[in-house]
């Protein structure tokens, strides 16, 4: 049995075999990642009047009876419209042991499309957090923020990670790990309740610093890998001044100044930095698997792509400004596969990069 920490791929597979993770259909290729399990959409979506949490003593099904506007058959493909809220039952369900909890998050490609996707459970009082011993179905709440999307059953928009106990590294342990293996290059190791990272607005050899989502665009087919023209959906951001002004309500793709490294026996989760640093937030798609940036092309480390949304007031974002942090956790055991090694890993060794749905420039 594995010990305390984030459960690796081989233990997730054992949870499937034991029935602790129930599946409607056989696992898809690559569905089990080094430290997480991709969750698959079912065959129906419920358009609801508003986002909700069921609350103690109530099921998602009970709440849908109050909030459902109409239901959509996804079996032939269906468009989820920008600005609307949908609930989709997932193909996976849980019967967790009492010593295992779970946390879900959007996949990287989902976050880069500004596709708000959160897991909800029966009697849930938090999004994406699943208590130890939970026995019941899983649902995805989906709200397209910038683009309408074409979805089908089996598509994987979010993922779930399992942990036994608590294994978050203290700042002292994180500093020791950085001193031993190097967690960040291209900038100082800013360690305070995690590893801070900053934004790159002075890229080497280019004045392209990011992309801003166009407010009026077409539909993105989530199965259309490499099929969409970026110019139809994104406006390029160029500057040689090391700063940009974020517009309220706009969504941006930027990149971290630092290259980060997740050693094979650790995992990490992206978290907000401080609410006081400005009128914006980095939309954290979430999980960094063991092996991210580990012996990547060009040296150790891969830069993190930042999904940024500005809030109430325009805000000047400066080169090198700290915008988020990585919270590191120990793995319960080293996973049998690592990110970028022997599995499909779209963002290893990345720089500034849109989601995999867009053609490379």
Q: Which domains does the chain have, with CATH numbers?
A: 5-164 (2.70.40.10), 171-330 (2.70.40.10)
Closest to 109 measured CA to CA, from 282, 341, 357:
357
Segment 299-320 shows an average pLDDT of 85
With contact defined as beta carbons under 8 Å apart, do 101 and 121 qualify? no
For position 299, what pLDDT does the model report? 44
pLDDT, tens digit, 9 for 90 and up, residues 55-79: 999 999 999 999 999 999 999 999 9
Q: What percent of the chain has pLDDT over 90?
A: 73
Is residue 342 pLDDT above 70, yes or no? no
For position 337, what pLDDT does the model report? 83
Provide the pLDDT confidence category of residue 292 given band limits of 50, 70 and 90. confident
Q: Output the six-digit token pair for 37.
A: 């399990």
Nearest 5 degrees, angle CA 141-CA 230-CA 323?
60
Is residue 300 pLDDT above 60, yes or no? yes
Across the chain, mean pLDDT equals 90
Which value, to the nearest 10 degrees, does the dihedral of the CA atoms of residues 132, 133, 138, 140 take? Answer: -10
Structure-model confidence comparison of residues 271 and 201, the more confident one = 201
For position 108, what pLDDT does the model report? 87
The pTM (predicted TM-score) of the whole model is 0.92
Q: Which residues lie below 8 Å from residue 87, measured CB to CB, with a gap of 6+?
A: 45, 46, 48, 60, 64, 120, 139, 140, 141, 142
With contact defined as beta carbons under 8 Å apart, do 147 and 233 qualify? yes
Segment 285-303 shows an average pLDDT of 72
């Amino acid at each position: 049995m594995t010990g305390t920490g984030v459960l690796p791929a081989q233990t997730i597979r054992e949870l499937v075999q034991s029935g602790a993770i129930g599946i409607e259909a056989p696992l898809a290729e690559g569905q089990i990642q080094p430290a997480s399990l991709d969750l698959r959409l079912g065959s129906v979506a419920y358009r609801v009047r508003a986002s909700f949490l069921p609350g103690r003593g109530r099921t998602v099904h009970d709440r849908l009876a109050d909030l459902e506007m109409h239901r959509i058959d996804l079996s032939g493909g269906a468009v989820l419209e920008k600005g609307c809220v949908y609930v989709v039952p997932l193909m996976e369900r849980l019967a967790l042991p009492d010593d295992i909890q779970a946390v879900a998050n959007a996949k990287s490609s989902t976050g880069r499309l500004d596709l708000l996707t959160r897991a909800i459970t029966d009697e849930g009082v938090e999004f994406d957090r699943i208590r130890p011993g939970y026995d019941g179905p899983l649902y995805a709440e989906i709200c397209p923020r910038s683009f309408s999307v074409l979805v089908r059953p089996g598509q994987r928009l979010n993922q779930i990670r399992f942990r036994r106990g608590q294994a978050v590294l203290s700042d002292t342990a994180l500093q020791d790990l950085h001193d031993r293996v190097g967690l960040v290059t291209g900038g100082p190791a800013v360690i305070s309740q995690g590893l801070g990272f900053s934004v790159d607005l002075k890229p080497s050899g280019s004045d392209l610093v990011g992309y801003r989502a166009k407010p009026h665009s077409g539909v993105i087919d989530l199965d259309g890998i490499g099929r969409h023209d970026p110019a139809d959906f994104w406006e390029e951001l160029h500057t040689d001044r090391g700063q940009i002004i974020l517009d309220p309500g706009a969504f941006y793709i930027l990149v971290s100044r630092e290259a980060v490294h997740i050693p094979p026996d650790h995992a990490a989760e992206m978290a907000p930095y401080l609410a006081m640093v400005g009128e914006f937030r980095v939309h954290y798609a979430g999980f960094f698997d063991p092996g991210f940036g580990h012996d990547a092309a060009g040296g150790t480390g891969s830069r993190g792509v930042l999904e940024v949304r500005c809030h109430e007031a325009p805000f000047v974002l400066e080169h090198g400004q700290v915008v988020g942090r990585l919270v590191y956790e120990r793995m319960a055991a080293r996973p049998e596969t690592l990110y970028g090694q022997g599995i499909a890993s779209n963002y290893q060794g990345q720089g500034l990069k849109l989601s995999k749905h867009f053609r490379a420039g």
